[in-house]
Structures are given as structure tokens and as C-alpha cells.
Structure 1
Amino acid sequence: MYRFLLSRQWVTITLVALLLVPTMIWLGFWQMDRHDERAARNQLVTDALAADPVPVERLASPGHAVTRAERYRTVTATGRFETDDEVVVRRRTNADDEVGFHVLTPFVLADGAVLLVNRGWIPADGPSQTAFPDIPAPPRGEITIRGRLMPDETTEASGIKDLKGLPDRQIMLVNSELEAERLGARVLGGYVAQTAPEAEGGTPQQLANPGKENAALNYAYAVQWWLFAAAVPVGWVVLVRRENRERTGAAKTPDAEQAEPAAV
């Protein structure tokens, strides 16, 4: 009855089905791994934002690479802003996806070390972004700031190219090693996205809290792949039975010449 399964067409269909099932099962487990990774990252963000503020010197030092557990931790620092060495970071967007700059200002601590502070976003003065923008000045004198600790930006991690030949006082990446060379100073690893005190008039626009990834979507994709894997053998059986019925029916039906009565 099922000798047709040995035909080239059905051997091909069967082999494809046998390959699809384990592939879809693997894709389901891959999506579950993605779900677990995103859930773990979300938990790190939640824990970091909920942790009590600590002095930045407890987590950062010159040459130190900010770890995943330290990222987004709220830190405090006491010192003064040094606006003469202030730079802007090109091609950064705000919550409305408007392109502008991030303002990066050195913050000199009591021991002379420098903390890089991202004071927030400002719009570009023109479409070319070649002119240095007007930047509202930070508070003068010694102050205490608060912000989220962030790791150095690299091309590998961000995908942003570190372009050369930029206009004066403009950079592409916030990187403590590069800034230490430019400033000729001891610069703490990473940087701080300032959250307090708030800028007068809301400018620069301070960066929003980090968003969380949608881990539930990966869980749904995993279930979807496993349902597809279960549907493949079911579909194969349905096709085989339909093919068998059609072949059986064709075998039982006489051809047209046999069905017509002989002429008298």
C-alpha cells in the first residue's frame, strides 16, 4: 500500500521533515536561552537601580572596567566641573529620536582624579553638526552629583565607529582611556550618566532610566518553534494518508474505455 514512500519525491519529503523537527526543537531551546539571558540582564538592571547610592570611588578607579553587576549602579561624587575641557559626543538621540549631542564634562574629585560625567542631551545647532553647540553651564564650585555608573563605550560593544578628523571638541565614543590621553590626567574607568542635581531649565536633558528587554517574547517564540516541530510529523502523516487514498481510489476506478459498453 505504501510503496510510493520509496519514490524520489517522498524520500525527499521525508528527509526534509526529519531535518526540520530537530532544527525547530533546537531553535526553541535557543529562544529559551535568549529568554534566560534577557531575564538575567533585566534583573541586573532592577537590582542596580534599587541599590543604595555609594561613593563612586568604591566602584571605579583609573583603568578599572565597569562590570555588568556595577553597570547602572547609582553613585555619588563630590568635586567640581571643569568646563574648559568639556566635549560633546556626536550623533546621539533623545527620547523623541532627535539627533544631537551628549555633553561630556570632566568632574575633578578631591584627590585630583577625573570622573567623566555625561550631563545629558542637547540638540545640534545645525544639520551638519560641525559647529560646537552652545552648552548650558553646570553649577560652579564644589558640588555633589549623583548618577548611574556606565562602562566605557567601544566600537565592538556599541557598533559606533571612532571616526578621525572630527571638529574640535567633538568625539564619537565615551571612553575613559581615550579621555585620559586627551586630558593628561588620572581618569576613573567608565563614566557617570548624571541624574542629580537636575539642570536648570531641563537642559541638558538628562538621560532616561534604562529600559528593560522583553524576555516574554523569546518565551513565546520558543513555544512557537516547538509547536512547529510537533506539527511536522502530523502534517507528514496527513499527506501520506491523503496520497494513499488518492492512489487507492485511482486503482479501483476503471479507465474510460473499460467503463463504456462495447458498441453493438
Structure 2
Amino acid sequence: MSNWRFVISKRWFGYLAVAVVFAVVCVLLSNWQVSRLEEKRLENSRVLDNYEDDPVPLDDVLRSLDAWNDDQEWTPVLLTGTYLEEEQVLVRNRPRNGQPGFEVLTPLQLPDGRVFVVDRGWLPTGSAQDLPDVVPDPPAGDVTVTARLKPGEPALTGRGAAEGQIATVELSQFDERIDAPVYTAAYGLMASETPAPAEDRPLPAFKPELDEGSHLSYALQWIVFGLLGFAFLGYAIREEYRHLNAEDPAEQARAAARERKRVAKRSDADVEDDILDASVR
């Protein structure tokens, strides 16, 4: 036992502290990946529960202008009103299949004056690089829209946008510009509109994929990394023990036994390679 006393030192306690801190960090990162997995599963359940439902009147889902519940995401709603084309804006930096582009947000004014923002779809960046080549006009007059609910997005600090564009779907910006009550907690991804526009409408949003991602495997990997930290510490202790006790007869006997096992495991091909290497030298 006295041969192991070197472990009881500030140096090795320091190494142990590093291994413990590393393991704690790995556990925290693993838990973060598990929480990401739970969030993804919850998102998938909302898609399964709501996406294919029959559309219902907007008032049946959103009881007030600032009402929102995460369980309402992807719920199809039915609206009738008139597009406020002059208040239409583009949301910049919206890639689709790796191609840069814009989302087209057009406020829809309901018969009672309230305004609900509709995302009419996606347009690619045009030759000018900061605008689509063409922004199709929305249908004029009364229109009936089916849209799937999405929560508004927060403001992005330090992100600006050109005239007629916004950096994120920050619905409060519409409330500031439009002289009418605006829904500020949710907007809608268009599924259909009647009558159809005279020009091709922007590309509709993709149906979200039901994919849990790699969060579970990442969580397990972080646990393995934490355990490997202690395994490496044990290996380092063992190597130093062998170095410090190289002259000890008992350790020499163990080293000889390990060498015999190593030689016994060598194949004939390994022996032939050693002979060839020796002849070359």
C-alpha cells in the first residue's frame, strides 16, 4: 500500500478536481441535450395533434389580441377580410433549401377592423441581392384565408432592415404602424386563399418534419466523455505507479507476465514483420 502513497498529494488531488469538473460539465451538457430532445418531441406532438385538423374560426382559438398558448401552434384557422397591401413587408434572411430569401408578411384586416398578419410564403433573393425579383400582389377585395398559427418572434438586438423589410416576425412593429387593433402574439402561415391571386403566390411553407434529431446520441456521448475523464485519470495513476516502482521485484514480475502475454498474442505475421525489419536495418 505504501507504494501508492504518491497519489495522496496536492498534484493528484488537483488532477482529480479537474476530472470531477470535467464530468460535471459533461453531465450538464448531456442534460441540455435531453432537454432539447424533450422540446423536439413536444414540437412533434403539436404537429401531430394540430396540423391536419379542420380549420376553425380565429376567435375560437385566440380570445384576445395578445392571447397565445404553445399548444395552439400549427392549428388551422379560417379568416375572411381584406389584405392591407400597403402594409406588406418582407422578412429578410429566411433560407429555404440552402437558398437565401424572404418571407412575405401581409396584414389581413377582418370585417370588425382587427388585423391579423399572414405569412403568404417565401420568395428567393433576386438579382439585386437585397430584394426578390418580383413580389406577387395579394388578391384584392374580400378574401378567405386558411392559415396555421405560429407564435410571434422576439426582436433581434442589433439587427436592422431596409425600408419595407423587417429582421424578424416581430408583430409589435405592425401594431405601431397600423392604425387598428393588431394581433401581436400570433400570426398565420398561409395554407390557402380564395380567390386565388392573379400572379403566382409565394412558395408555401413546408410541413415540419417529425424528426427527433441526434440529441439522444449526443447526450449519451457526453456521459461517455465524462467517464473517460476518470478512466484517463486511472490510467495516468497506474503509469506513474509503474514508473516509480520499476525496481520493485513484485512489479518487475508483473511486468514480465504482461510481456509474456503480449508475446503470446502476437501472430506469425507480426514475428515475420519483425524479422524483415531487422534484416533491413
TM value normalised by structure 1: 0.76
Secondary structure of 1:250's counterpart equals: coil
Secondary structure of 2:62's counterpart equals: coil
Match of 2:173 in 1: 178
CA contact (8 A) 1:88 1:101 kept: no
Counterpart-to-counterpart distance in 2, 1:102 and 1:21: 44
Structure-2 change in CA distance of 1:6 and 1:58 (3 Å): same
How far apart are 1:146 and its partner, in Å?
A: 0.8
Match of 1:33 in 2: 35
Secondary structure of 2:204's counterpart equals: coil
User: Does 2:13 match 1:11?
Assistant: yes
Structure-2 change in CA distance of 1:53 and 1:9 (3 Å): same
CA contact (8 A) 2:91 2:105 kept: no
How far apart are 1:211 and its partner, in Å?
A: 4.2
User: Does 2:147 match 1:150?
Assistant: no
Counterpart-to-counterpart distance in 2, 1:177 and 1:62: 15
Match of 2:138 in 1: 138
RMSD: 3.1
Structure-2 change in CA distance of 1:99 and 1:88 (3 Å): farther
User: Unpaired segments of 5 or more residues in structure 2?
Assistant: 253-281
How far apart are 1:182 and its partner, in Å?
A: 1.6
Secondary structure of 1:117's counterpart equals: strand
CA contact (8 A) 1:117 1:191 kept: yes
**Misfit runs of 4+, over 6 Å:** none
How far apart are 1:43 and its partner, in Å?
A: 1.8
Counterpart-to-counterpart distance in 2, 1:69 and 1:95: 26
Structure-2 change in CA distance of 1:235 and 1:77 (3 Å): same
CA contact (8 A) 1:51 1:73 kept: yes
Match of 1:240 in 2: 237
1:206 aligned partner, one-letter code: P
How far apart are 1:70 and its partner, in Å?
A: 1.6
Q: Percent sequence identity over matched residues?
A: 27
Deviations 1:210-235 (Å, cap 9, x if unpaired)? Answer: 345634x2211221222233334343
TM value normalised by structure 2: 0.72
CA contact (8 A) 2:57 2:77 kept: yes
Secondary structure of 1:116's counterpart equals: strand
Counterpart-to-counterpart distance in 1, 2:95 and 2:236: 54
CA contact (8 A) 1:72 1:149 kept: yes
Match of 1:206 in 2: 204
Secondary structure of 2:74's counterpart equals: coil
CA contact (8 A) 1:119 1:193 kept: yes
1:149 aligned partner, one-letter code: L
2:177 aligned partner, one-letter code: R
Secondary structure of 1:154's counterpart equals: coil
Counterpart-to-counterpart distance in 2, 1:129 and 1:22: 46
CA contact (8 A) 1:65 1:151 kept: no
How far apart are 1:54 and its partner, in Å?
A: 1.1
User: Unpaired segments of 5 or more residues in structure 1?
Assistant: 254-264
2:140 aligned partner, one-letter code: R
Deviations 1:38-87 (Å, cap 9, x if unpaired)? Answer: 2223322332313332111222355324321122211111223232x242
Bigger relative contact order, structure 1 or 2, given CA contacts below 8 A and separation 6+?
Answer: 1
Structure-2 change in CA distance of 1:162 and 1:77 (3 Å): farther
Structure-2 change in CA distance of 1:162 and 1:10 (3 Å): closer
How far apart are 1:205 and its partner, in Å?
A: 1.4
Secondary structure of 1:69's counterpart equals: helix
CA contact (8 A) 1:66 1:152 kept: no
1:96 aligned partner, one-letter code: N
How far apart are 1:145 and its partner, in Å?
A: 1.3
Counterpart-to-counterpart distance in 2, 1:18 and 1:179: 51
Counterpart-to-counterpart distance in 2, 1:58 and 1:5: 70
Moved more, 187-196 or 11-20: 11-20
Secondary structure of 1:45's counterpart equals: helix
Counterpart-to-counterpart distance in 1, 2:12 and 2:170: 60
